[in-house]
């Protein structure tokens, strides 16, 4: 069952709050309320609403100030704000647009207009949330394949000259899945991808724990680089990791008896441009 959308009602008039709470509750929305602008900002921090219905004229802090404050905060700037204005509030609408309001409702609020504007605004909000969630998942997935050393350099200085390739003494571990072509003929693409991702996710945990960096990837394999000041150390790490990957494959195959995987591993040590 999907979560009910939460709407924050911000108005210093109890009658207006009660009316909106009743209307929105009948429509299946969860509501929370605030009596002034400062309380509204506090509520946003604790409640995380999906949408805000915001009055303009309030004590302590007016609606425009609230709108600007929320839009200037990276954590709250994507929460849609619907400003409630008087029928002749053209100046309020202009100020609301400048403050970052997403939509407007004319007071006294018409129930049909209330429903239409809330549904449209929330539909856009949920679409944005879904797209952002997908981007985060993609970013987290590909972050697994970025060498830790590169992450640190980029974080410190995105234009760092150290990001250029250099000749270094390293150990390189190559891994690929045996019989991948045969598997792709027997399994649907989504099933095969999920199977490979499950194994590779475990492999990546072992590699990162040993200090290895994924350098190149393909659908059925990857290349990992180990480097250390002591040239003997990176070779030992590569061998130990290879043994750990073989053991991990055996363990995964015990739970995956239908399509157990076999892997090939190769290791080479020496000077390389990385």
Query: What is the residue extent of each domain of the chain?
Result: 6-141, 148-273
- Residue 70: phi and psi, rounded to 5, are -70, -35
Per-residue tokens: 219: 């659908």
* CATH 1.10.490.10 assigned to 148-273: no
Q: What is the pLDDT of residue 135?
A: 63
Handedness of CA 208, 212, 217, 219 (dihedral sign): negative
Q: Residue-wise pLDDT tens for the chain (274 aa)? A: 567 899 999 999 999 999 999 999 998 999 999 999 999 999 999 999 999 999 988 888 988 999 999 988 888 988 999 988 875 667 777 888 888 888 888 888 888 888 888 888 888 787 777 777 766 665 665 555 555 555 555 555 655 555 455 678 889 999 988 888 788 888 887 788 888 888 988 898 898 888 888 776 666 788 888 988 777 888 999 999 999 999 999 999 999 888 899 999 999 888 876 5
Backbone dihedral region for residue 263 (phi beyond 0: left; psi -120 to 50: alpha; all else: beta): beta
What are the residues whose beta carbons fall under 8 Å from the beta carbon of 192, sequence distance 6 or more? 183, 184
Q: What is the pLDDT of residue 201?
A: 86
| Residues linked to residue 269 through DSSP beta bridges, in sequence order | 171
Per-residue tokens: 11: 């108005």
Q: What is the pLDDT of residue 2?
A: 63
Domains 6-141 and 148-273 share a fold: no
Q: What is the pLDDT of residue 85?
A: 80
Instruction: Report pTM.
Output: 0.53
The architecture of the domain spanning 6-141 is 3-Layer(aba) Sandwich (3.40)
Report the C-alpha gap between 148 and 145 in whole angstroms: 9
Which of these, 22, 91, 14, lies nearest to 56 by C-alpha position?
Answer: 91
| Residues linked to residue 86 through DSSP beta bridges, in sequence order | 107
Q: What is the pLDDT of residue 141?
A: 59
């Amino acid at each position: 069952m999907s979560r009910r959308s939460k709407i924050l009602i911000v108005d210093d008039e109890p009658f207006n709050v009660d009316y909106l709470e009743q209307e929105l509750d009948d429509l299946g929305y969860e509501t929370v309320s605030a009596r002034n602008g400062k309380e509204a900002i506090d509520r946003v921090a604790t409640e995380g609403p999906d949408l805000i219905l915001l009055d303009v004229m309030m004590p302590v802090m007016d609606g425009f100030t609230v709108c600007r404050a929320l839009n200037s905060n990276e954590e709250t700037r994507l929460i849609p704000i619907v400003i409630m204005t008087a029928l002749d509030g053209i100046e309020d609408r202009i100020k609301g647009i400048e403050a970052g309001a997403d939509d407007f409702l004319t007071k006294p609020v018409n129930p049909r207009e209330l429903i239409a504007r809330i549904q449209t605004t929330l539909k856009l909000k949920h679409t944005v949330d879904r797209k952002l969630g997908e981007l985060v998942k993609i970013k987290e997935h590909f972050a697994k394949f970025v060498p830790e050393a590169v992450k640190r350099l980029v974080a410190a200085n995105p234009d760092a000259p150290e990001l250029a390739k250099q000749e270094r003494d390293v150990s390189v571990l190559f891994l690929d899945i045996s019989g991948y072509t045969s598997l792709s003929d027997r399994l649907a693409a989504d099933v095969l991808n999920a199977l490979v991702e499950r194994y590779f996710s475990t492999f990546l945990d072992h590699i990162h724990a040993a200090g290895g960096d994924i350098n190149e990837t393909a659908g059925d394999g990857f290349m990992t680089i180990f480097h250390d000041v002591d040239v003997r150390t990176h070779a030992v790490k590569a061998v130990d990791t290879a043994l750990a990957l073989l053991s991990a494959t055996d363990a995964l195959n015990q739970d995956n008896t239908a399509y157990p995987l076999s892997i090939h591993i190769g290791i080479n040590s020496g000077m390389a441009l990385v």
